[in-house]
Amino acid sequence: MTDILIAAIFQENLALAYFLGICTFLAISERVETAFGLGLAIIAVQTITVPVNALVLNGVLVEGAWRWAGLPEVDLGYLRLVAFIGVIAAIVQVLEMTLDRFFPRLYVALGSFLPLITVNCAVLGGSLFMAERQYSVSEAAVYGFGSGLGWALAIVSFAAIRERLRYSDMPAGMRGLASAFLVTGLLSLGFSAFARVPL
C-alpha cells in the first residue's frame, strides 16, 4: 500500500507526470491561498470518488458483476467513462451540499472550487487509472488520497513559484501565462527525476 501512496504522490504525480487537470492548474495558481484551497478540495474529492468508483466498477460494470441476478455474461465496461463522470459529478454535488449545511466556514473557503473539480481531468484520470490497474477498494482509497495529495502538492509549489515571479523583471510578453507554461515544464522535468527512484 505504501508504494501505491508514494508512487501516486511522486513518480506518478497526476499534474506533473501525467499532465492531468492542467487547465485548472494553470488558471488557479496565481496565489498560494487559492491554490491551497483548491488542493484541499481535490484531496477530499479524490479520496471519496476513487474508492466509490471502484465499488461501482466491480459491483455493476465488469463482466460477471450481474451473476447474482442470473446474467453472468453482461459486460457493461463500455459505460465506464460515463458512469465515472456521473458518480464524480454526483459526489461533488453532495459534498457541496454537505459543506454548505454542516461546515459553512469550509464551504465559504472551498465551495467555489467544487464546480471546477467536476470537470477536472485529474479527478477522472485518477478513477480511470484505478480501473486500468484493477485496484481493490482499499487500494483505491489509498491511491485516491495519494493522487489528490500529489496534485495538491504540485499546484501549491507552482503557486508559490508564480507568486515570486509575479514582480520579477521579465519581458512584457512573457509575464503571466508564458512564464507559467515554462515553469510548469521545468517543474515536471524536475519531478521526472523521481521516476528513477526504485520502489
Partner 1 sequence: MPKGLSRITAPLIGQNPITRQILGVCSALAVTTGLDTALMMSAALTSVLCLSSAIISLLRNHIPHVIRLIVQITIIASLVIVIDELMQAFAFELSRALSVFVGLIVTNCLVLGRAEAFAMRNPVGPSILDALGNGLGYSLILILVGSIRELLGQGSLLGVVVLVPVADGGWFEPLGLMQLAPAAFIIIGLLVWAIRSYWTDQAETTAQATPGEQVAR
Partner 2 sequence: MDDRRAPFWRFLARDNEDPVKILGVAFLVALISAIVVSSAAILLEPRQTAHLEAERAARMAAMLDRLPGMADILAETGADSLRTYLVDLATGQIVPDLDPDDYDAAAAAADPATAVAIPADLDLAGLRQRAPYAPVHILERNGRVELVVLPVSGTGYASRIEALLALQSDLGTVAALTITSQGETAGLGARIENPEWQALWPGREIADDSGQIVIAVVRGQASSPYEVDGISGATRTGNGVTNMLRYWLGEHGFGPFLDRLREQGV
- Yes or no: say if 194 and 10 are a contact pair by the CB < 8 Å rule: yes
Number of residues forming the site for partner 1 (CB under 8 A): 50
Range 127-146, binding partner 1 (CB under 8 A): 128
Q: Cα(110)–Cα(40) distance, rounded to whole angstroms?
A: 8
Nearer to partner 2, 23 or 90 (CB): 90
Q: What is the dihedral of CA 9, 12, 17, 21, to 10 degrees?
A: -70
Q: Contact between 61 and partner 1 (CB under 8 A)?
A: no
Residue 160 in grid coordinates: 508559490
Q: Cα(180)–Cα(105) distance, rounded to whole angstroms?
A: 31
- Nearest-approach distance from CB 100 to partner 1, in angstroms: 14
Q: Cα(11)–Cα(154) distance, rounded to whole angstroms?
A: 12
Looking at residue 4, what DSSP letter applies? H
- Residue 64 has φ and ψ, to the nearest 5°, of 100, -5
Q: Contact between 1 and partner 2 (CB under 8 A)?
A: no
Residue 62, binding choice from partner 1, partner 2, none, Cβ under 5 to 8 Å by partner class: partner 2
- The residues binding partner 1 (CB under 8 A) are 19-24, 26-28, 30-31, 34, 38, 78, 81-82, 85-86, 89-90, 112-113, 115-116, 118-119, 121, 124-125, 128, 166-167, 171-182, 184-186, 188-189, 192
Contacting positions for partner 2 (CB under 8 A): 62-64, 72, 78-79, 82, 132-134, 195
